[in-house]
Amino acid sequence: MVLKIDLRIQRVGCKDYKEYLAFLKAHPAEMQDLVRTITLKASNFFRNPLIFELLHTTVIPELVTEFGFLKAWSIGCAYGEEPYSVAMIVRELAAKENLSFAYNIQGTDVYPDAIERAIQGEYPEGELVEAKQRYIETYFTRNALPSSPDAGAAYYQVNSEIRSMVRFSCTNIMDQLLYKRAYLGNYNLILCRNVLVYMNMAMQEELFRALADILYEKGCLVLGETETMPESVQDDFEQPFPGIRVFKRRRSAAAH
C-alpha cells in the first residue's frame, strides 16, 4: 500500500508525505484518485471455484427449496464478475436441473467506473481463467478489441441473457446498511468477499450486525477466504461447511 501511495505522490509532483498531505487538503478530488489507487479491484469469474461449486450443488438449491426464490446481493462487486457468475449458476439450475424459481441478483460497488464496466460486461481473457469451459462456450462471446493496448487481444462479453439477469448500482455499502436499511428489504444470499480488508474492527462489527438484520433466517452469507467474522456476531450464524467461509443465519430464539 505504501508503494501505491508513493505512486500518487510522484504523479501529483509532491516531494514527500507532508507535502502530499497538504496537497490532499487543497485538492479534495485527489482523495478519490488515492482511494482508487490503493483499493484492490482484482476479481475473476468463479473466483475460488470451491465456493461456486458449493453454491451450484448445495447452497442455491437448498435456498430455493426453502424459500421458493433467490434474492442475492454481491457487495463490492468490482466489475461484475461475481454476480454474473451467480447468474450463470442460476441459469444452469433452471435449464439443466429443471429448478423453477424467481430470482433477483444485485451487484453494488462504490466506484461508478467499475459499475459502468460491469454493465457493459466485457472482460479480458485472463479474468475467465477459473471459469469452466462450458460456461465460456455458453455464456460469452469472444471479441478482439482493436483499441486494446495488445493488438488483437481476446476480450469476452457476457451474453445479453446473463447481463439482463443482474441489476447493478453504485452505492456506499455502509451508507446503505446504516442509514437506508429500511429500503433494502431482505436477502437469502449475500456475498461480501474481500470487503472487510478496508474496514477497522468497529466498522466490521457494524457491518455484520446490519447484514444479519437483512439476511433471512436460514439465508447464507459468503465471505472471502481470509476474512473472519467478529466474535460479537458469531452466535447469529452457523458454518455448515467446516473451513469454508459460507455462513447460515441461525433461527432466532423467538422462532423456535
**Structural domains in the chain, sorted by start:** 2-6+16-38 (no CATH), 49-121+160-255 (3.40.50.150)
Which neighbouring-strand residues pair with 155? 124, 143
pLDDT on residue 38: 57
Write down the pLDDT at residue 151.
52
The per-residue pLDDT for 174 is 79
Cα–Cα distance for residue pair 30/44, rounded to 1 Å:
28
Whether the model clears a pTM of 0.75, i.e. scores above it, the answer is: yes
d(CA 240, CA 248): 7
Predicted confidence band at 28 (pLDDT cuts at 50, 70, 90)?
confident
Q: Alpha helices of the chain — where are they, by DSSP H?
A: 2-12, 17-26, 29-38, 49-54, 60-67, 81-96, 112-120, 133-139, 160-164, 173-179, 201-214
Per-residue pLDDT, 32: 67
**Phi, then psi, of 58 in degrees rounded to 5:** -130, -55
Please give the average per-residue pLDDT across 106-133, as a whole number: 93
User: Is residue 178 predicted with pLDDT exceeding 80?
Assistant: no
The more confidently predicted of residues 12 and 48 is 48
pLDDT given at position 253: 44
Measuring CA to CA, which residue among 64, 61, 62 is closest to residue 103?
64
Average pLDDT score, the chain: 86
Q: How confident is the model at residue 35 (pLDDT cuts 50, 70, 90)?
A: low
| pLDDT tens, position by position, 44-96 | 899 999 999 999 999 999 999 999 999 999 999 999 999 999 999 999 999 88
Strands lying side by side in the sheet with 154-158? 122-124, 154-158, 140-144
- pLDDT grade for 197, boundaries at 50, 70 and 90: confident
Please state which of the ranges 87-91, 142-146, 230-234 shows the lowest mean pLDDT. Answer: 142-146
- pLDDT exceeds 60 at position 256: no
pLDDT at 192 over 70: yes
* Dihedral sign from CA coordinates of 121, 122, 123, 125: positive
**pLDDT single digits (tens) 94-116:** 988 778 899 999 999 988 989 99
